[in-house]
Amino acid sequence: MMDDYLPLSYVNQFAYCPRRFWYMCVQSEMAENAHVLRGVQNHRHVDAAGYATDATGTRAHRRLYVISHELRLRGICDLVEEAEDGTLMPVEYKQGRRGKWNNDQAQLCAQALCLEEMSGRPVPQGQIFYFGSRRRQEVTFDPALRELTRTLVAAMHRTLAHDVIPPHTDKRARCRGCSLIDICLPAETEQLTIEH
């Protein structure tokens, strides 16, 4: 059933915090904060679907729909560059700077796994463009990142099947940048737990 295919972008949310993924996926919560709004605005600049070929023969596919039946995952790649020899490379645009966690890299790797399944060709590398630093980060889809991504996707499906909201993340620094903090109330819930 295609209904249980998850959006690619939720790999990033789950890697950041399983509870955040739950709110967005099950309760459709997507509170806006400055970080979220910047992301929406930045994506508008790269959001026109289609493709173009440059002087080097590299073809740029924008807003490419991808799917993996093995992972039960689907979504849109911001940009996929196709070299003259047919090598595919996903490029993802992110607001801010590179974070301390691998959530952006896992989302990009999930795109690569979808592209490999669809094309039958290996996808060895990708890039993430951070608007905050205006830098592209090269990401190699090595066995460790592939394993992490597959593990995350399997855990996402398990979490939904289990049908219980995950606990707050114990990495509380993440809550400070989370747009759902006023819905999730991690500090207040912790206080209640202590008092009981």
- Whichever of 145 and 175 has its CB closer to ligand SF4, that residue is 175
Pairwise CA distance, residues 195 & 185, whole Å: 16
**Sole window of 62-70, 126-134, 146-154, 176-184 interacting with ligand SF4 (rule: CB under 6 A):** 176-184
Nearer to ligand SF4, 87 or 95 (CB): 95
Tokens read off for 60: 């740029």
Q: Which stretch binds ligand SF4 (CB under 6 A): 27-35, 43-51, 79-87, 180-188?
A: 180-188
- Show the CA angle centred on residue 60, arms to residues 110 and 34, nearest 5°: 60
- Beta-carbon contacts of residue 107 (< 8 Å; ≥ 6 apart): 8, 9, 11, 12, 15, 92
Count of beta carbons in the 10 Å neighbourhood of residue 113: 22
- Is residue 174 near ligand SF4 by the rule CB under 6 A? yes
Tell me how far apart the alpha carbons of residues 73 and 10 are, in angstroms, rounded to a whole number. Answer: 9
Q: Does residue 19 belong to the site contacting ligand SF4 (CB under 6 A)?
A: yes
Can you read off the two tokens belonging to residue 95? 């607001």
61 binds ligand SF4 (CB under 6 A): no
Pick from 6, 77, 112, 184: which binds ligand SF4 (CB under 6 A)?
Answer: 184
**Contact string (CB under 6 A) for ligand SF4, positions 149-168, x = contact:** -------------------x
Burial of 139 (0-12, 13-18, 19+ CB in 10 A): buried
Minimum separation from the CB atom of position 104 to ligand SF4 (A): 16
Considering beta carbons, is residue 71 or 180 the nearer one to ligand SF4?
180
Q: Does 169 bind ligand SF4 (CB under 6 A)?
A: yes
Distance, in Å, from the CA atom of 161 to the CA atom of 114, rounded to the nearest integer, reads 22
Longest alpha-carbon distance in the chain? 67
Is the backbone of residue 57 left (phi > 0), alpha (psi -120 to 50) or beta? left
Least distance in angstroms from the C-beta of 34 to ligand SF4: 15
Question: Binding to ligand SF4 by residue 186, rule CB under 6 A?
Answer: yes
Residues near ligand SF4, by CB under 6 A: 17, 19-20, 168-169, 174-175, 178, 180-181, 184, 186
